[in-house]
Structure formats: C-alpha cells, structure tokens
Amino acid sequence: MSPEVSNNKSIPIRFFVVAFLWSWLLWLPFVMGGLGIWDWDENLRSILSMPTIILGAFGPGIAAVYSIRTLQGKSAVKPFLRSFLSFKFGWKVWLIIFGAMGLANFLAWYLPGFFGYERLPMLLPTIFVFPIYWLVMVFFGGGQEEIGWRGYIMPYLESRYGILLGNTILGIIWALWHAPLWLIPDSFQVFMPFPAFLIGCIGLSFFFSWVVKASNNKPLSALIAHGTSNAMLPVFPSLILASGVFQFHFWILEILYLIIGIVALLSLKKQ
C-alpha cells in the first residue's frame, strides 16, 4: 500500500533526515578510516565494512516506517509492510525487468570490445549460483533501499513535482545518499565515476517508477528491479576494480540506464 498523498500534502522531510542519519552514521567510522582520521585495525575494518554497508542500506526503509508511524500512527505500519508481500504484478513486468536490466548490462559489457577494451570475465564462480545471488541482491544487496525510495517517498515527490521532475529529484537524492561509500576503501563505489553513477540513478529512478506503476503499484516490484540491476553486474561486469582507469564500460551502462528510464517514462505519458 503506497502512502496516500495529494498535491497539497507536504513532503515528509523527516524521512530524508532519518534515512541519511541512519546510513551515514553507520558508515561514518569506515569513512573516517578511509580518510585516515581513525587508524583502526585493517583486518577488522575489512571484516566489518560490508555487513555495515548492507545494514546502512536499510536506512530508507527504516525512515519510511518511522515516518508512517509518527505521521499516520502505529496502525498504518503493518498495512504498509504487508504491501511488499505481493508478487502478483504480471509476467510482462517480470520480463521487462530482467530483459531491460540484462540487456543494458550485456551491452555495456559487450560493446567496448569493439573499441579495443577487454570484455571482463564473469565475477560469479558459476552462472548456476545466480538465483541465490539474485535473491541476496533483492533483499540485502540494494533492493531493500526501495522500501523507502520507491515504496514510500516516490509518490510524495511525484505528486508535488510530477513524474519527470519528481523522479529526477529522487535520483539526485538517491545518488547523494550513496556519497560516503566513495570514501570507504572496501566499497565498489571507489571505482565508480560519480557523474556516471548520478546519471544511472536518475535513469533507474525513471525506470523503477514505471515498474511500480506497471505492476499496479506493487512496491515489491521496485525491490525486484533494483536487486536485478545489481545482480547483473557480476554476470556482465562493467566495472574495472582498479583506480585511475577510464571506466568506459560503466559509463555505457549508466547512460543505457538513463535511456531505458526515459523510454519508460515516455511510455507512461502515452497511456
């Protein structure tokens, strides 16, 4: 159940405050380590960094529950969470999610080969572990963010600013929320050019908005879409895990995400 919003209803700023505080405070010790401010044991940091990054990614979801509880009352929390249990959003939506995310990642991996770039080897030990990896990505590897981003705050921004501007704003906020990860040595973001990442966040915001609407406002579809986009990365790698290199593959991927998102929004306008 998406939050009921109207054009004159104010955007719950507390959502953004809690989302950023939860995530950034959890990530802060690792940022301080990355900046050399806090010299703590490197082995301990390596062990704890990824679990803490994952826990921090629950910030938007926790912020959504907090906002609903404080603004609409305790009784509104359970229906909100229950709305994420429905898988019934049609085979076409599932097909487009996997087709669009798979095609974008494949092209970003394949096309640079024509320009002299190496086609990077698959990072999964075998393709047969993909279903398990996909489930992990949906619920713990990024998809969980959508409880807050698309499941809660997106309708407010779309109602106030419209689908295009609302999701552009959300994409920018979403990218900025990730910013501390560029200062954590054990995160993948340290290899990503932020401008490309920002473009991709805006494009995926457009696409995820389409996914939710095409699924008859089933918010679980956003978790599926986000988790699928992340799960495709090690299958068709587009990120060179080295500093100081031009991430041509990654730029192509993020631009393709933007193109897919624009096409998705245009299809909504025609309906």
Give the model's confidence band at 253: pLDDT under 50 very low, under 70 low, under 90 confident, else very high: very high
pLDDT at 127 over 70: yes
Q: How far apart are CA 180 and CA 35, in angstroms?
A: 11
pLDDT tens for 129-173 read 999 999 999 999 999 999 999 999 999 999 999 999 999 999 999
Question: With 80 as the cut, is the pLDDT of residue 258 above it?
Answer: yes
Cα 215–chain centre separation: 18
- Residue 209 sits at the vertex; the CA angle it makes with 232 and 240, to the nearest 5 degrees, is 30
3-state secondary structure (DSSP) of residue 91: helix
Q: Alpha carbon 62 to chain centroid distance?
A: 15
pLDDT digits over 35-70, tens only? 999 888 888 888 999 999 999 999 999 999 999 999
The whole-number average pLDDT for the span 201-212 is: 98
Q: What is the pLDDT of residue 43?
A: 87
Q: Looking at 111-242, list the stretches that DSSP marks H as alpha helix, in order from N- to C-terminal side.
A: 130-139, 154-161, 163-177, 194-214, 220-231
pLDDT of res. 69: 97
